[in-house]
Amino acid sequence: MPEGHTLHRLALDLTDAFAGRTVAASSPQGRFEDGAGLLDGRVLVGADAWGKHLFCSFEGTELRLHVHLGLYGKLAIRHADDLPGPVGQVRLRLVAGPSADGVLTWADLRGATACELLTPEEHASLVARLGPDPLREDAEPERAWDRIGRSRTSIAALLMQQDVVAGIGNVYRAELLFRHRIDPFREGRSLRPGRWSEMWGDLVDLMALGVEKNRIETVRPEHEDAAREAARLYEGGRRRRSGLSYVYRRADQPCLVCSAKVRTIELAGRNLFWCPRCQRRFVPRGS
């Protein structure tokens, strides 16, 4: 599933491509025909994201387009002189143009879990259920700490709960815990506020870099050569769609830092990756 940086990058790209332009909206698949009809002919004002949710606003209506890509959704933005016919199950197509130089711009949405129009009240209700998003300027990390600092749940499980922190997925979860040498099975309440502040600051930087690069990058410069060599040895030279990683999808491979074997286990339906040496088991005082 795309993590939060992907949605924020899409919001920037949509705003850059369509903001201030009248769009023709359609639903070639037919499942969003009524919604597309309400958006057709309106000017797109802009797009923003909260966690894994994407929102677009339009002139002349309080309704907001809400998209959640889920596991299989894709939103592709294209530019060309001619508009091709839709390929596959296109839930929503937005078209703007032609521009001054005759170029058309369009976006095709396929396979999304959610594609709907929300009233202001529905939008407010949705975001109220989400935790703070490290990529938003209005984020309140103390809201996440209020949940984490009182919880007996493992920090690995807490980081995947979107009502705790919005936008983190499996990759950022595993890599963040490794970068801070935290036992993933440690209870949230065993962390100290200062430790959480360090993790939050790192998340802000890592996810902002993800938006900039349009992919997840978590390996520190001093470990990049080792990460590239590991990718060459264990991935057969296959081209990586994502950035290099410390532990994510590196089960049974040697840790880039200590050479211990990276481990994996299923936790709450998702695979968790960690280094048992760098992320030693946490034992509370007095245990």
Q: Which residues are catalytic?
A: 2-3, 52, 270
In this structure, what are the phi and psi dihedrals at residue 144, rounded to the nearest 5 degrees?
-65, -40
Q: Are strands 270-274 and 90-96 parallel, antiparallel or unpaired?
A: unpaired
How far, in Å, CA of 122 to CA of 210, rounded?
A: 29
How far, in Å, CA of 74 to CA of 71, rounded?
A: 9
The DSSP-derived string for the chain is ---HHHHHHHHHHHHHHHTTSB-EEE-TTSTTHHHHHHHTTPBEEEEEEETTEEEEEETT-S-EEEEE-TTT-EEEEEEESSPPPP-S-EEEEEEE---TTS-EEEEEEES-SEEEEE-HHHHHHHHHTS---TTSTT--HHHHHHHHTT--SBHHHHHT-TTTSSS--HHHHHHHHHHTT--TTSBGGGS-HHHHHHHHHHHHHHHHHHHHHTS-----GGGHHHHHHHHHHHSTTPPPSS---SSTT-TTSBPTTT-PBPEEEEETTEEEEE-TTTTPPP--TT-
